[in-house]
Amino acid sequence: MAELKDVPRNRGWKILAVVISGILLFLFYMWVYVSVLGLDLPKTSILKWQNADWSSRVDRLSQQLDQHDEKLSMLEVRDDRIYRSVYGLDEIPQAVRQAGIGDVNLYEELEGTALQYIVKRVDVMEKRAYIQSKSFDDVAAVQQTAGDLAAHIPAISPMNTDPSTYRMSSPFGYRSDPILGISKRHTGMDFACDPGNPIYAVGDGTVIKVAHEGKGYGNHVEIDHGFGYVTRYAHMSRIDVEEGQKVTRGDCIGLSGRSGRVTGPHLHFEVIYRKDYVNPALYMDLDIPAEDYAEMVRKPAGK
C-alpha cells in the first residue's frame, strides 16, 4: 500500500522537474538568442520598428518645417524691404517677430523627446505667421491711400526756381560749419535769398510743428507728408500756417528770413525719411522753368 501512495508523489515531482527544465531551457534559449546571436526579442523588434517609423515621420516633418520656415523668412524680408518700405512703414524688429518665445519652459512634458523641438518650432512659426498676417493688414490699409502717394512725396523745390531769386549756398552733406569752423554734417540745403521770398509746401501733408525760436532753426515749420516723409523749413521771417493744418503741394506756408542761428538770410530746407535725413536734391528739379513752377504753386496773399 505504501508503494501505491508514493506513485502520485513521484509523478508530481517529475512534472515539476519538467516545468523547471522547460523554464531553464527557455531562459537558456533566450540568452543564446539575445546575448550570443545578438538578436532582438519580438517585442523589442516591434518597438524598434515603431521607433524607426516615428523617427522617419519626425524627420519628414522637420524637412517640411525647414521649407515653410524658408518661405516665411522670404515673406518677412520682402515685407520689410519692399512692401513696408514703399509705403513708409518701419520694419518690424526681429524681437517683435519672435515675440512670445520666452524663458518659461512651455514644453516640459516633452522634455528630452524629438517632439519637443518640433512642437517648439511650430509654435514659433505660428506666432511669426500671425505677426506677418497683421503686417500685411497694415500694408493693405495703407495701400487704400496709395493713390495719394505721388501727391504726398516731396517733389518740387520749396522756392521758385528762378535763379535770379536765390543761390544754392550750401548743399546736403559734410561741410565746414560757417560759425564753428569745424567739419559738420549739413542735414539740408540752403537757399540764400533776400528776406520775404515765398516758401511753398513740397507735397501734401499736415503741419505738425510751428516754432518761433531765437536760435537754432529760428522760425520754422515741419510738415508730415505720411509714408515716412517729413519736411522742415527753417529761418523764416513769417509763418502762414498753423499746427494741424492740412496743406497741399504748392501752398505758400510763409516767407524766407534770417531768424535763428544764421550768418545771412536764407531758407534751410530738410527732407526726413523714416527719421533719417536724406538729400533734398533727390526730390526736386531746380532746372524747371520759373514759369512752369509758378503754375504749380499758389501765390501768398498780397503777391
Superfamily in which the 151-296 domain is placed by CATH: Glucose Permease (Domain IIA) (2.70.70.10)
Domains of the chain, residue spans: 42-144, 151-296
pLDDT digit string (tens) for 23-76?
777 666 666 656 665 555 566 667 767 777 777 787 888 888 888 888 888 888
pLDDT digit string (tens) for 149-174?
878 989 999 999 999 999 999 989 88
Task: Check residue 249 and give its pLDDT.
Answer: 94
Taking 90 as the threshold, does the pLDDT of residue 240 lie above it?
Answer: yes
Return the percentage of the chain with pLDDT > 90, whole number: 36
Higher pLDDT residue, 211 or 111?
Answer: 211
Taking 60 as the threshold, does the pLDDT of residue 7 lie above it?
Answer: no
φ, ψ dihedrals at 231, nearest 5° = -120, 150
Q: What is the pTM of this model?
A: 0.60
What is the average per-residue pLDDT within 135-148?
77
Question: Distance between CA 66 and CA 281 in Å, rounded?
Answer: 45
pLDDT digit string (tens) for 175-188?
666 666 666 788 99
Task: Indicate the average pLDDT of the chain.
Answer: 82
Kindly write down the DSSP assignment for every residue of 22-91, as one continuous string.
HHHHHHHHHHIIIIIS-PPPHHHHHHHHHHHHHHHHHHHHHHHHHHHHHHHHHHHHHIIIIIHHHTTPPP
